[in-house]
Structure 1
């Protein structure tokens, strides 16, 4: 008979499985093959979050809710808005954090009193998307900036807003070229609080066949993953949380979950 805590035993067993996935080359190849084939079939476009299209894999949606729940940020900064599904996901998680905080404190939940916010940045917020986001139930938690994410005026505006927050997470998902993502990392990664994350999406471009993304400027050798590796050479305060990738296997962000020490 064992006296081991069954909850602790469950979590330990899960960690052991995840560690095995990271060493299982056959499983990793299968996962990469499926990612490539599903991307060719536009599988990533199939999903919504709270009624808004979210161009992410379900695994990455789950990863984001886990990170937000763990980090408990009061500000999430996202570059790239598209249809607004990712903004809705982050905003809904922040709303859940507020509700749980109220329950634990034994006080009434007033969503209007919350400071937690999602800030979305996009060079072109199309009218129909802006209208849908602004009329969404999560709209009070969302602020949007239209402009290039790497323009000086945009960066300064974001920094001024972020100055009022203490626990910040950043997600980069706009233009996927090396130079653009490296400029975004330089601008926004320093805003990430200790113990939180800068999540760089679409690093998987580096692992796709050359020319896979027709009519796009990014390709192997010129993409978010190459930018991540260049940035990390000069910024030891960040490290790749490889456990996230090992757990997910199917993700558009291999080497893209950057945790600040």
Structure 2
């Protein structure tokens, strides 16, 4: 007992230190967004950076006055909504076909899905850009969403989850005359809510901050998502760090809300789909 207590104290102190290191930049961004602009960098080298001497919402008002933030937010929500919504349907069907159906080339297709996981998007961004430009498909919301609907990671996660589902309910549905699609929508989906929630959150978190593809494919401000919005906002004169930090808080807030609301589903989904780390 006496030997265990110091080790336990050391462990918790180490975890607390790690928490402060990772939470520090977020706290600095939040506190800086509430400060007058002349105090943001002036206090950066001291602990005063983590506590505002004068707090207010002027920086947030300035963001909405200087740029069409509501348009950026609506574009990001629409693009990510399409990616997540269509992706859940497409990737779940693909994962189910790989896990449950028997068809020629299934093992090869599964190997291809796993192999694609190691290819970064940056490696295919330019060829994809030229391909879609040749089709004159640019500068709208759909071109920012459709290429990411089919996701190899989501397919593999659904595949892994469906392998672990008991076959008894599906076999009973087949005996009652249900086809593959009816079995999938009536039996499989209601028993896979945790997997769907987990994949939806992971997909949303990954694509919310995507910058390269919108930068390549868009020119109009009306279809510009938040990552491009904050990049262009950073270059607008005058350079006001309080406004930039306020923009950052507004950009991160939807992600935090989604994660907090669906945290229980995410944890259950992580456990059920076998994600480690």
Q: TM-score range by the shorter chain?
A: under 0.3
Q: Give TM-score, length-normalised by structure 1.
A: 0.28
| Higher helix residue share | 2
Which structure has the greater CA radius of gyration?
2
